[in-house]
Amino acid sequence: MKDEMMIRMSTETCGVLANVGKHYPIEFRYLHHSYNALLQAAQANHPADAFLRALPKLEGDISDVSPQEMHILFAQLRIALESLQESSPGEAARLAAAADR
């Protein structure tokens, strides 16, 4: 899976989790499978990346994981992938120039 797709999925999941309990109750615990799959795919794309290696896999009893905690997991993954996109010199220069405009 491409990084861009994983970033999009993480971003949209973060948006959904931000509304859990606030606007509508949804079952969110199935998302741990999605998170682990995305993390695995990201690490497969970038096996030497220290940031991705530092991210936790969600294992064992997840019944006490809150929506906010699930959100943090996806948010960390999102930061790692977005920063990877910027880490190529050409991309970094382009993004820095765009941000300064």
Residues at the site binding other proteins, with contacts judged by CB under 8 A: 14-15, 18-22, 50-51, 53-56, 65, 67-73, 75-76, 78-80, 82-84, 86-87, 92, 95-96, 98-101
Q: Which helix (H) or strand (E) holds 39?
A: helix 31-45
Terminal-to-terminal C-alpha distance of the chain: 32
Number of other residues whose CB lies within 10 A of the CB of residue 87: 12
Instruction: Please tell me what DSSP assigns to residue 6.
Output: H
Residue with Cβ nearer other proteins (44 or 96): 96
Residue with Cβ nearer other proteins (41 or 62): 62
CB of 2 to other proteins, least distance (A): 19
